[in-house]
Amino acid sequence: IGFNMAALDFDKDDTPELGVGLVLSFLNRIGQVGVGYNTSQDVSYWFFGLQLPSPSFRLPGT
């Protein structure tokens, strides 16, 4: 379980809004699901994500 912050453009006006929420990872951090709250528009949202394998791409220092 973790904390998520996102600067997303929820309403497509080219102005990012701040979203905060909780995220839960599963299957050895391959999948993520969470719920969030858009502080600018006073609405909630949910999200999910999958880690895509990328063996040839590494960040420096990892």
Residues 6+ apart with CB under 8 A from 3: 20, 21, 22, 23
13 occurs within a structural domain: yes
Domain count, the chain: 1
Given this model, what pLDDT does residue 57 score?
67
58 domain-assigned: no
Decide if 59 is inside a domain: no
Q: How far from each other are the two terminal CA atoms of the chain, in whole angstroms?
A: 23
CB distance 27 to 33 below 8 Å? no
Q: What pLDDT shows up at residue 62?
A: 58
Q: How many Cβ atoms sit within 10 Å of the Cβ of residue 37?
A: 14
Comparison of pLDDT for 10 and 52, the residue scoring more: 52
Residue 32 falls within a domain, yes or no? yes
- List pLDDT tens digits, range 12-58: 888 888 889 999 999 888 899 999 998 888 889 999 999 887 777 67
The answer to whether position 56 is within a domain reads no
Q: Is residue 38 part of a domain?
A: yes
Domain that holds residue 14: 2-50
